[in-house]
Amino acid sequence: MKSHLLAIALLAASTSLAGAAGQTVDVVLNEGCMCCHEWIAHMQAAGYTVNASELDYDAITARKTQLGIPEDAASCHTAVVGGYAIEGHVPAALVDRLLAEKPDAVGLAAPGMPLGSPGMGADADAEPFDVLLIGKDGSTRVFATVEPDRG
């Protein structure tokens, strides 16, 4: 009986994550930004469908404000998936976790453009970086600390 319950729990967990990766990500980015396109490729490799729109700086900034992304959490591109904002180079695994946990929040942010994050290369000098959970009141807290992939 215990093994049957374990199998059901594992199936439910895998179905939840597969459902997350099967979702569509709508992303706005600056025209020709290669790191943004590399992040998009990272999300596609994780199973997400991505719709990308290249906009000017003012339109992207307005979108960030509309979504409730605080200025100190900003990065180069902004996405929406499953009703959550994803700001910057957030790893797909953390987007999966966000969609599985469904916190009452605006979304996630990887402020700035952390070296070693998806789309920002596997720089030997990369440092760990924090991915923040953005509260609906604009507050932030660490959702996860990411160790860069050293290859």
Nearest Cα neighbor of 95 from 58, 48, 27, 62 is: 48
Show pLDDT as tens, one digit a residue, over the chain (151 residues): 333 323 323 333 443 444 465 799 999 998 878 888 899 999 999 999 999 999 999 999 999 999 999 999 999 999 999 999 999 999 999 999 999 999 999 999 999 988 888 888 877 778 899 999 999 999 999 999 998 765 5
Integer Cα distance of 113 and 111 in angstroms = 6
- The alpha-carbon radius of gyration of the chain (Å, integer) is 16
| Residues paired with residue 146 on neighbouring β-strands, in sequence order | 129
